[in-house]
Amino acid sequence: MKVLVTDPIEQVCTDILAKEGIEVDAKPGLPPDEIKKIIGGYDGLIVRSGTKVTADIIAEAKSMKVIGRAGAGVDNIDVGAATRKGIVVMNTPGGNTISTAEHTMALMLSLARNVPQSYQSIQNGKWDRKKYTGTELFGKTLGVIGLGKVGREVAIRAKAFGMSVIGYDPLLSAEAASNLGFELVSINDIIVRSDFITVHTPLTEETRAVLGEKAFAACKHGVRIINCARGGIVDEEALLKALESGKVAGAALDVFIKEPPGDNPLFKHPKFIATPHLGASTEEAQEKVAKQIGEQLVDFFKGRGIAGAVNIIDYQTAVSDELRSYLMLAEKIGSLQAQLLSGKIKSISASYRGALLQNSSELLSTAFLKGMLDGLMYAPVNFVNAPVIAKEMGIALSEKKEKDGEHYPYLLTVEVLTDREERTVSGTVFSQKEMRIVGIDKFHFEIVPEGRLLFYSNLDRPGMLAAVGGILASAKINIAGVSLGRSAPGDKAITIMSIDNEIPEPVLKEISKVEGVFEVKSIKL
């Protein structure tokens, strides 16, 4: 077995592989074209965040069996392309939790006490004690958006400083939050009540620019902002305006929309501090994830099990092709629900029609949870940890069996209730492999759950489709297909378009301004 390593990684990783007789070629910094030339001769690939494992590179990986990411995020790997080629993609979730939480606290304290600015002042020969008077953390309110592993560790540390902690998470139950000693509130409450706000969520359509112009306008005067999660969760342009107006007293970013950020005007503001994506950059974290990914690849090659896989289930070879298609469908429904929903999840109910689905309900429920949680959690979710994460968050999924139906012998239906709405999605599989979404809420559809979709609700009246289509045409976005659902003429309807290109945020906002159009969402499956 041969493994290629294309990013810098601690020696412990290569030592573990070599000890088991696995040949390792460490070539950090290799350009993409060079990787493509040699990747065909390797059985495994190990990367960190530097290497972009694109579909083009994966296409040349003739012998590749596994791609390992020494870290939590896999956004630099085309997981879909790897899955289609039968390549296992694995990561090391949890290895950098403490490091990221501590870095968040470091930035919070630096903001509160003007540490970088005052140091720079001393370097310039000044002694400005009065100018750099800070503020205490004690007695202040910290708002944590995202109470996954990192968010919870930050909250624990903040409480040790005497801070009052409030948190938002669409998954965590009030009971689980109470047991952890946090007050669970809405995002709006966090924005209005917090003296410091820190974000610990993945970057999704729901979290993109969640701290933007509207949020900053509603914040306390003098709020301080920290982001050690993903670039784009904080609207950088809106943040600069809020800093300039004084509404935001200080901001600290470890991540940016563009990395490296280049000539970003934020760096010219005296109340802004930053670090170059250092959240996971501690000796302990790097040693931990290097050791972990080395051990995981060894276990994989030696047939001792698969750990940390994000695109495979260890029982995959033990199920039929037809059931495997339903497992994929369940995961797609979970992902669709995660991207459609708004509000905090209160309950989930899954209905299974047909003996095949009823006999495999536990596997299907796990697949659904994986798909849903993967879009809502900061840390990656797989088939092994999805039920555990759901339990930790206080999420219960009830199952029921349906009687045989007239139209579909096998039908999977999942209903999710939040504090704002109720969403129901149904799906089936034709000819053992052709997945279809056949129902959303009370509307009938037949949608292939693949690629990019534009979803919106609208009043059923003439000209609606033409208005939206005209906006997409002006933006040079091609429509591959359209599916409409309505209850009665003139009533509420749902429109779903299959789109060839990603829809930029300004285009989505323009569609939202069309009279009679609402709930506009960009979906990626």
Q: Which helix (H) or strand (E) holds 525?
A: none
In order of 109, 289, 339, 450, the CA distances from 335 in angstroms are 37, 27, 6, 11
Average pLDDT value for the chain:
90
Q: Per-residue pLDDT averaged across 36-58, rounded?
A: 95
| pLDDT, tens only, 463-517 | 889 999 999 999 999 999 898 887 777 678 899 999 998 899 899 999 999 999 9
SS3 3: strand
Sequence-distant (≥ 6) Cβ neighbours of residue 87 within 8 angstroms: 58, 61, 64, 65, 66, 67
Instruction: Note whether 293 and 70 are within 8 A (CB).
Output: yes
Q: Of 459, 463, 462, 522, nearest to 493 (Cα)?
A: 459
Sequence-distant (≥ 6) Cβ neighbours of residue 2 within 8 angstroms: 22, 23, 24, 25, 41, 42, 43, 44
Measured N-to-C along each axis, helices 11-19 and 283-301 cross at an angle, to the nearest 10 degrees, of 20
Q: Give, in degrees to the nearest 5, the angle at Cα 153 between 164 and 12.
A: 160
Work out the pLDDT band at 316, boundaries 50, 70, 90. Answer: very low
Predicted confidence at residue 318, as pLDDT, reads 43
In the block, residue with structure tokens 């299959």: 498
Measured N-to-C along each axis, helices 115-123 and 97-113 cross at an angle, to the nearest 10 degrees, of 60
Q: Of 101, 7, 83, nearest to 52 (Cα)?
A: 7
Exposed / middle / buried, residue 328 (Cβ in 10 Å: 0-12, 13-18, 19+): middle
Which one is predicted more confidently, 81 or 200? 200
Predicted confidence at residue 206, as pLDDT, reads 80
- Which range among 199-203, 285-289, 377-381, 517-521 shows the weakest confidence by mean pLDDT? 377-381
d(CA 423, CA 518): 16
pTM of the complete model: 0.71
Predicted confidence at residue 408, as pLDDT, reads 87
Catalytic residues: 230, 259, 277
| pLDDT, tens only, 56-101 | 999 999 999 999 999 877 889 998 888 778 788 999 877 889 999 9
Provide DSSP, 248-287. EEEEEES--SSSS--S-GGGGSTTEEE-SS-TT-SHHHHH
Work out the pLDDT band at 312, boundaries 50, 70, 90. Answer: low
Predicted confidence at residue 173, as pLDDT, reads 80
| pLDDT, tens only, 247-286 | 999 999 999 999 899 999 999 999 999 999 999 889 999 9
SS3 46: strand
Which one is predicted more confidently, 402 or 440? 440
| pLDDT, tens only, 12-21 | 999 999 999 9
Instruction: Note whether 113 and 271 are within 8 A (CB).
Output: no
Predicted confidence at residue 106, as pLDDT, reads 98
Instruction: Note whether 17 and 3 are within 8 A (CB).
Output: yes
Q: Is the pLDDT of residue 9 over 90?
A: yes
Predicted confidence at residue 317, as pLDDT, reads 42
CA dihedral 80, 81, 86, 89 (to 10 degrees): -60
Instruction: Note whether 337 and 525 are within 8 A (CB).
Output: no
Q: How many CB atoms lie within 10 A of CB 317?
A: 8
Q: Is the pLDDT of residue 118 over 70?
A: yes
Q: Is the pLDDT of residue 363 over 90?
A: no
Dihedral sign for Cα 72, 347, 416, 234, please: negative
In order of 173, 203, 334, 418, 452, the CA distances from 339 in angstroms are 19, 12, 9, 13, 12
Q: 352 - beta bridge partners?
A: 401, 412
The domains located in the chain, with CATH, are: 1-94+281-312 (3.40.50.720), 97-274 (3.40.50.720), 401-524 (3.30.70.260)
| pLDDT, tens only, 408-437 | 889 999 999 998 889 999 999 998 789 999
DSSP state of 314: T
Residue type, 61: A
SS3 193: helix
Q: How many CB atoms lie within 10 A of CB 17?
A: 24
**Structure tokens, 31:** 């350009």
Predicted confidence at residue 319, as pLDDT, reads 58
d(CA 149, CA 385): 13
Q: Of 398, 395, 386, 402, nearest to 349 (Cα)?
A: 398
Q: Is the pLDDT of residue 315 over 60?
A: no
Q: How many CB atoms lie within 10 A of CB 133?
A: 10
**Structure tokens, 40:** 């065909």
Q: Is the pLDDT of residue 314 over 60?
A: no
Work out the pLDDT band at 438, boundaries 50, 70, 90. Answer: very high
Predicted confidence at residue 379, as pLDDT, reads 66
